[in-house]
Structure 1
Amino acid sequence: MDGAVARPQRSGLRPPTAGAGRPAQRAVELRDPRGRTTLVTRPMPEQPGRFGRPVPGRGAEAFVDRVDPAALQTPAVRAVLANVARICPAFLPRQVLREGTRHVLVAGTIGRAPVVAKCLAPAALRGPQAAQLVDRFHHEVAVYRAFVRHRPPVRMPRLVAADHDRCVLVLERVPGRPAARERHPANAPTPGEVRAVLGAVRTLNLWRPPTDVFDQPLDYQTEIARFHSLGLLTDRDAGDLRALLHGLAAVPRQLCHGDALLGNMLLAPSGPVLLDWEQAGWYLPGYDLAVLWSVLSGDTAARRQISQLAQSGGTLARDAFLVNLTLVLMRELRIHDLPGAGEEQRIMIRRLYDDASLARRAVRAAVGTR
């Protein structure tokens, strides 16, 4: 709410104007002049290939996983490995990459081919969000299967096997490293890496597969109503967003990854690889760009480039990007603005509120120029 939390107002978003001689769609520029570096991220190890050292070899020899028998023997991991063995009897587990409350990732090999098994954690199937997590996993399985029939123009792990009922995916393991280790990294990727990531996202967004292959994961009206009821959007905010949405009713949807965080972008020898397709589908244009803009708070140049890309399609593209950006920022506030946050998280939350103010003013200015 505008009045609920007092946040310092910062300039940096040039509102659209209807002045003569300049089209309104060229007048919006999302700029963040702060460029502060306050959070600390862990240094990322060097990786082979285009973004690191030369590739030492192909296949399983490119990975030097340390086998950890103890990690492979936990009840959760043993349960998911039993499910993996049903569809891939030749799968040889080598290392637990992640054992979280939602997913378990186990690296291994099938013959000489390095693969990763991704499974829903047993605890997730018993939790309050079990139905939602199962639906998302089923959606990701459907996306990978659709990509077998309709090959996308971006690099992604090849599907090896899938079990829809038991929520198991076995995928090619691609050598590389995430573009960032944290959701909101302070140390942004290099300019070259940012350009590569934006290029991959832009290529995906411009792809036009058959419209019946993917669905529309996001109900914009429902999202506006939800954030309004939570107090993150004021009455005026909700009204402005609905006004922009009304003008976007006839705009064709754009295929988006849906969760284009830097942690879901693997910098591989062949270029960026997009991971975790649970939320892929048709969105208003610019959704993936809005996600990237929201997490690159420390990279003013990248944000300027994203803003220019998002608005290159004209006024409607600008309006769609602003709707997406506002809802993405509301979601980030909902995730991170929690009691008991430490100092580093409070700094990030203040940044998010500043960014939300920028987006809110841009939306109001865009409504005023229609």
Structure 2
Amino acid sequence: MDGTTARPSRPALRPPTAGAGRPAPRAAELRDPRGRTTLVTRPLTDQAGRLGRPAAGRAPEAFVDRVDPAALQTPAVRAVLANVARICPAFLPRQVLREGSRHILIAGTIGRAPVVAKCLAPAALRGERAEQLIERFHHEVAVYRAFVRHRPPVRLPRLVAADHDRCVLVLERVPGRPAARERHPVNAPTPGEVRAVLGSVRTLNLWRPPTDVFGKPLDYQTEIARFHSLGLLTDRDAGDLRGLLHGLASMPWQLNHGDALLGNILLAPSGPVLLDWEQAGWYLPGYDLAVLWSVLSGDTAARRQISQLAQSGGTLARDAFLVNLVLVLMRELRLHDVPGAGEEQRIMIRRLYDDAALARRAVRAAVGTR
């Protein structure tokens, strides 16, 4: 994706020209007879020391939460707190971090350990997408449990407790700030922050856990057909993507976070921390890179770096990245190109259409080199 376009501020998509410490103890677990509800009775430890306590020689990284009794007393919050209390009777709520239509996040403590409870909102359980949201939450619970057995090489919140049936997760609360607070940030992270984020994402992508631990959240043929039926892909676009997919049939898949937005990456003192694992699983190589490329429209240098990483594995890796990129951009257009958009959103939509056109041209060029 190096090169030039009609708009020099945008990197062009172009196919390449040639082919210490002690080990952390495992936590004790209690499971119900169906094996669905897991309660971790002793917090796991990590390089920062015991959960909620700083390591020796480091300054405490305390959370200063303003207790908001009114927010903790809304019907939805009280309902999910009752579910949290079933698996964590010692959970002391401090602050509602988010009360949305899908999820409710509540910061609190268990003893001296700062934790956060993530729950599916009661309204989500009654909505039109209830089945899909419940399935995704169950998937995230399964991913966190899998990470207890197969520890990944990247930083993520440690599982404290989980209730599959009531859609509750209680996780270690990690100090830090999101890499961005907007899905498509106007001000990109600093070059050093971008390098750290890409380093963590690539470390995850190169990890090889047992293949039966994670599933395949994305059906590529179905996604192509869906965007084609919506008019976002032309007949030629769909045919080109299917042609690239055919050539990737024997390529090994790669473990990806699946939703590597900057808002899902926490910049902590110990390095980036990946949050929200609802869509983690096996993808064609480069899916996480495609997500990051799609949201960093204002950072030409970051996009060039992502493009180089995506193409470093050769022609097949390039083709996989391009398939991922087109589908990610189609999803973003589907999500944001809606009636009633404000001026700022319309500017972002125009950028997405420019990016999509760029990606289509790159796909056609890649098909021509096959």
Verify same fold: TM over 0.5. yes
Matched, 1:180 2:180: yes
Match of 1:23 among 1, 18, 25: 18
CA distance in 2, matches of 1:108, 1:215: 32
User: What does residue 305 of structure 1 align with?
Assistant: 305
How far off its partner does 1:55 sit?
Answer: 6.8
CA distance in 1, matches of 2:227, 2:12: 23
Matched, 1:160 2:160: yes
In 2, are the aligned partners of 1:205 and 1:255 still within 8 Å (CA)? yes
Residue identity matched to 1:333: L
Matched, 1:109 2:112: no
- Structure-2-length-normalised TM-score: 0.87
Give 1:1-370 correspondences, 5 Å limit: 10=7, 12-13=11-12, 15-16=14-15, 22-24=17-19, 56-58=59-61, 62-370=62-370
How far off its partner does 1:166 sit?
Answer: 0.1
In 2, are the aligned partners of 1:162 and 1:169 still within 8 Å (CA)? yes
In 2, are the aligned partners of 1:10 and 1:354 still within 8 Å (CA)? no
CA distance in 1, matches of 2:309, 2:220: 22
CA distance in 1, matches of 2:291, 2:158: 25
RMSD: 1.4
Residue identity matched to 2:166: R
In 2, are the aligned partners of 1:152 and 1:207 still within 8 Å (CA)? yes
In 2, are the aligned partners of 1:9 and 1:354 still within 8 Å (CA)? no
How far off its partner does 1:220 sit?
Answer: 0.1
User: What does residue 51 of structure 1 align with?
Assistant: none
Give unmatched runs, 5+ long, in structure 1. Answer: 1-7, 25-53
CA distance in 1, matches of 2:127, 2:14: 44
* Structure 1 consecutive aligned stretches of length 4 or more whose deviation exceeds 6 Å: none
CA distance in 2, matches of 1:140, 1:55: 32
How far off its partner does 1:13 sit?
Answer: 1.8
SS in 2 for 1:93: strand
SS in 2 for 1:106: strand
How far off its partner does 1:107 sit?
Answer: 0.1
Residue identity matched to 2:60: G
Alpha-carbon displacement from aligned partner over 1:75-96 (angstroms, at most 9, x marks no partner): 0000000000000000000000
How far off its partner does 1:316 sit?
Answer: 0.1
CA distance in 1, matches of 2:261, 2:310: 17
Alpha-carbon displacement from aligned partner over 1:230-276 (angstroms, at most 9, x marks no partner): 00000000000000000000000000000000000000010000000
SS in 1 for 2:208: coil
Higher relative contact order (CA 8 A, sep 6+): 1
- Residues 359, 166 of structure 1: CA spacing in aligned structure 2 closer, same or farther, 3 A cutoff? same
Alpha-carbon displacement from aligned partner over 1:169-192 (angstroms, at most 9, x marks no partner): 000000000000000001000000
Residue identity matched to 1:224: I
